[in-house]
Amino acid sequence: MDGSAAGNEVVVTPEPAGTLALGDAPRMDCRNVNVFYSGKQAIFDVSLPIPDRSVTALIGPSGCGKSTFLRCLNRMNDTIEGCRVEGEIIMDGKDINSPVIDPVLLRSRVGMVFQKPNPFPKTIYENIAYGPRIHGLAQGREDLDEIVEKCLKRAGLWEEVKDRLTVPGTSLSGGQQQRLCIARAIAVRPEVILMDEPCSALDPIATARIEELIDDLRKRYCIVIVTHSMQQAARVSQRAAFFHLGKLVEMGDTDQIFTSPRDRRTEDYITGRFG
C-alpha cells in the first residue's frame, strides 16, 4: 500500500526472456531454507534466488517438497499445525519470516493461485473486490469498479463476464474460475504471484489460455509456478529449479535445464525415467 504498491503501478517495458541473467538482483532470495513438519524434515537447505519479471518453475516428482517450498514464500505454512520454517527468505532486504513482518501484509505482496480453482462462493465482482476492500486500496465505488475491470482484463476474463458480474464466481467453468482466481490475486497489487499447479484440474484448452496469461503477466509480476508437466515448465518458464526428496538438485535457465542438465537425476526426470 505504501511505496511498493505505488511502484507496482509504474509501467515497465518488458524485458525479453533471453536477457535475464543470474546476476540481476532477485525479487526474493531464499537462503538455506529448511522446513519441518512436526519434527520431520521436508525441505533440506534450499537456496534459490527468484528473479523479478520472469517465471520460475519448480519441478520434480510428487512429494519432493516443491509445493511446501512455494508455500514458504508467502508464509502459508504458518496455517499448518506443527510446521516450522528455518533459514532466510529475503524480500526487499528483509527476512519475511522475521516477527516484524505481518503475514497479512506479506500475502498482499505475494499472492497465490491454488491447484484447484477456489473462487469464493460470492459474485464475480465480490471475488475481485474483496482483497482491495480489506486492504483499503479503493476510494469509493467507482475506484473499486475500475480495479475489478482492470484485473478481469488482465486475467483475460473481462470479455466473458462483463455482463454478468453479479453471478456467483462458482458458476463459471473450471478454466474461467482459475482465471478469476488469478484476477483475485492481482487485485491486491502483489509483486509476486505463486501458482501451485494452476492447470492440473483443467482441460488442455483452458490450460493453454492460462499459460498465455502467465506469459502475459510475467511482464508485470514475478511468478513462481509449481508444475508436474515438463512441457508446461518448458513453455512458460524462463528459470527452472528441480527438486528431489526435499533437496534442490539443480537450478538454472529453463533452456539449459531441459537441454543440458548437469545432474543425472534431473536428466532422468525430464526424460521420463522416473517421477
Partner 1 sequence: MSEQALSSFGTDRARKRLRRRRAADRRFKWYGRAAIGFALAALALLLASIFSQALSAATYHVVSFRIDAGRVVAAENTSGALKEVYDQVRADLFEAFPDASGTPAGRQEVSALVTRLAALPIAERLRASPARRGMEQVSLPLSDDVDLYLKGAAARQVTINFGPVAAEPTEDGQGVRLSGAGAFARLIAAASLEHANVTDVSFLVTGGRSTVRLTRLSADEAEGSLIAGTASEFGNRALCARIILAPQSERTVSDRQIAWALALKADGRVRRVPHWSLLTHTDSTQPELAGALAAIVGSFLTLLVTASLAIPVGILASIYLEEFAPKNRLTSLIEVNINNLAAVPSIVFGLLGAAVFLGVMGLPRSAPIVGGLVLALLILPVVIIASRAALKAVPDSIRQGALAVGASRMQTVFHHVLPLAAPGMLTGAILGMARALGETAPLLLIGMVAFVADVPRGPGDEASALPVLIYSWATQAERAWEPMTGAVILILLAFLIAMNVAVVYLRHKFERRW
Q: What residues line the site for partner 1 (CB under 8 A)?
A: 74, 76, 79, 81, 104-105, 107-108, 111-114, 116, 118-121, 130-131, 134-135, 168, 170, 181, 184-185, 187-188
What whole-number distance in Å separates Cα of residue 129 and Cα of residue 132? Answer: 6
Comparing CB distances to partner 1, the nearer of 131 and 261 is 131
Do the beta carbons of residue 243 and residue 59 sit within 8 Å?
yes
Comparing CB distances to partner 1, the nearer of 49 and 131 is 131
Between helices 204-217 and 174-186, what is the axis angle to 10°? 20
What whole-number distance in Å separates Cα of residue 70 and Cα of residue 151? Answer: 23
Q: How far is the CB of 96 from partner 1 (least distance, A)?
A: 13
Residue 172 — φ and ψ, nearest 5°? Answer: -75, 165
Pairing between β-strand 26-37 and β-strand 40-51 as defined by DSSP bridges: antiparallel
Q: How far is the CB of 118 from partner 1 (least distance, A)?
A: 4
CA distance readout (Å), 58 to 74, 87, 181: 15, 19, 20
| Cell, residue 103 | 503475514
Q: How far is the CB of 14 from partner 1 (least distance, A)?
A: 25
Comparing CB distances to partner 1, the nearer of 63 and 121 is 121
DSSP letter for each residue of 173-197: -HHHHHHHHHHHHHTT--SEEEEES
| Cell, residue 69 | 517450498
Pairing between β-strand 239-244 and β-strand 55-59 as defined by DSSP bridges: parallel
Q: How far is the CB of 180 from partner 1 (least distance, A)?
A: 11
Comparing CB distances to partner 1, the nearer of 27 and 184 is 184
Comparing CB distances to partner 1, the nearer of 220 and 235 is 220
What whole-number distance in Å separates Cα of residue 173 and Cα of residue 19? Answer: 37
- Which residue, among 104, 157, 106, has the nearest Cα to 127 in the 3D structure? 157
Comparing CB distances to partner 1, the nearer of 31 and 135 is 135
Comparing CB distances to partner 1, the nearer of 58 and 183 is 183
